[in-house]
């Protein structure tokens, strides 16, 4: 019996296993997954609206709430303040039972002109900040933490 047909069969088996594993990475997981994509503007002055764009996936489509993390950084680059707030997922205006969606969050900086927006208070001096997201589903599974790039908040 020749060994060549056995090697070909083994090679096909290994190739099929690799392809199955490669396809598996695109499947949704039971834990929600979130990715912050962008934040604008890069420099924020009083009255500006900050827009945070992200997307998520969730196998069951049973998102319940969102944690929004605000981080302020001092001149040395370390976190000065880390505040955590939780909002129901309906605050995002998303219909229920979505397994995949884009998220757009808007914050008003230092003014209360738009009552539908979360207001981010003004800072005492120019500072750098970032925003992070964590999603929670109805079975209390948490997503990964994803954080935006840093933006500059100008003193009012």
| pLDDT tens, position by position, 44-58 | 999 999 999 999 999
Fold for domain 33-153? Immunoglobulin-like (2.60.40)
Domain boundaries, the chain: 33-153
Q: What angle do CA 57, 86, 122 make, to 5 degrees?
A: 115
Tens of pLDDT, residue by residue over 66-122, are 999 998 887 777 676 677 788 898 877 777 788 999 999 999 999 999 888 888 888
Sign of CA dihedral 32, 83, 111, 44: negative
What span, in angstroms and rounded, lies between the C-alpha atoms of 85 and 147? 15
> Can you tell me whether residue 89 is helix, strand or coil?
helix
Q: How far is CA 86 from CA 47, 89, 96, 101, 130, in A?
A: 23, 9, 18, 19, 17
pTM here?
0.78
């Amino acid at each position: 019996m020749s060994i060549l047909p056995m090697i070909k069969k083994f090679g096909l088996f290994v190739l099929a296993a690799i392809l199955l594993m490669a396809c598996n990475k695109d499947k949704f997981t039971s834990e929600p997954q979130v990715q912050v994509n962008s934040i604008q503007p890069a420099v924020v002055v009083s009255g500006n609206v900050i827009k945070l764009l992200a997307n998520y996936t969730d196998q069951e489509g049973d998102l319940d709430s969102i944690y929004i993390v605000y981080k302020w950084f001092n001149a040395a680059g370390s976190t000065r303040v880390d505040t955590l707030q939780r909002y129901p997922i309906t605050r995002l205006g998303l219909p229920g039972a979505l397994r995949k969606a884009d998220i757009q969050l808007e914050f008003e900086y230092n003014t209360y002109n738009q009552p539908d927006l979360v207001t981010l208070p003004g800072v005492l001096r120019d500072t750098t900040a970032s925003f992070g997201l964590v999603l929670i589903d109805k079975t209390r599974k948490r997503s990964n933490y994803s954080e935006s790039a840093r933006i500059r908040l100008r003193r009012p």
